[in-house]
Amino acid sequence: MEGTNRQIFVKGMRDGIPIGLGYFAVAFTLGIAAKNAGMTAWQATLTSLLLNASAGEYIGFTLIAANAGYLEVMVMEAVANARYLLMSCALSQKISIKTGLLHRLLLGFYVTDEIFGVSVSVPGMLRPLYSYGVIAVAAPGWALGTGLGVLLGNILPLRLSSALSVALYGMFAAVFVPPARENKVIAGLVLFSFGASFVFHRAGLFAGISSGSKIILLTVAISLAAAVLFPVTEKPEKGEAV
């Protein structure tokens, strides 16, 4: 990824604007769940600043409302957020081997589906400043939306709240549709992933597996198969080791 530090950071912020807007809308419903769990707007906002995971936060708020124990919350959060381990591993292949530990920790801390999607899709090697630009816009939108959801969520009409809850799926589509239109292999893998996910969800054979575990199994299997059948060779940028 070429450009000055300022240019790369600004590009990340520009690409992070739609993510931040989507986060802001989706987080309203998350704020409602936080309020139902007895949390204040400040507590919910702080939670969203420290835990960048929609499903993880929703599960956490639901368990808090049910007076679940600490161990149960820890186990459920580990299962719900396990996919981020895979994303972090994939993202580590996009950054320079000279990237320091602090940068790696920060990138790993802020790995979300959308931030990972735009970060891993940049051409060439990823410079952390790009992801920081995305995070600088997306993270405040997520936290602010959660806090306002606590304060204003119950005032909104039920239909509007339900509509906001599906906005995240539109963001997912915005991540994979453009590359799928340009690459038939990616398009085929996306369609196959949809079909496999449907089968895993409907087949009684997999009924005992949690949704988080199903996602992990499918991600590993399909990614491994794609890497073996359709390998991608990228030339290293100037100054990078092969």
pLDDT digits (tens, 9 = 90+) for 102-144: 999 999 999 988 899 889 888 888 999 999 999 999 999 999 9
How would residue 241 be classed by pLDDT, with cut points 50, 70 and 90?
A: very low
The pLDDT score that the predictor gives to residue 242 is: 43
**Do 191 and 170 contact (CB within 8 A), yes or no?**
no
Query: In angstroms, rounded to a whole number, what is the distance separating the alpha carbons of residues 201 and 73?
Result: 24
How would residue 55 be classed by pLDDT, with cut points 50, 70 and 90?
A: confident
For 14, the token pair is: 């520009």
The pLDDT score that the predictor gives to residue 104 is: 92
Average pLDDT over every residue of 28-57: 87
Residue 46 has pLDDT above 90, yes or no: yes
CB-count exposure of residue 232 (10 Å: 0-12, 13-18, 19+): exposed
Residue 168 has pLDDT above 60, yes or no: no
Helix axes 128-152, 5-36, angle to 10 degrees: 30
Q: Compute the Cα dihedral for 98, 102, 108, 114 and give only its sign.
A: negative
> Whole-model pTM?
0.70
139 Cβ contact partners less than 8 Å away, ≥ 6 residues apart: 49, 52, 110
**Do 13 and 134 contact (CB within 8 A), yes or no?**
yes
The pLDDT score that the predictor gives to residue 117 is: 86
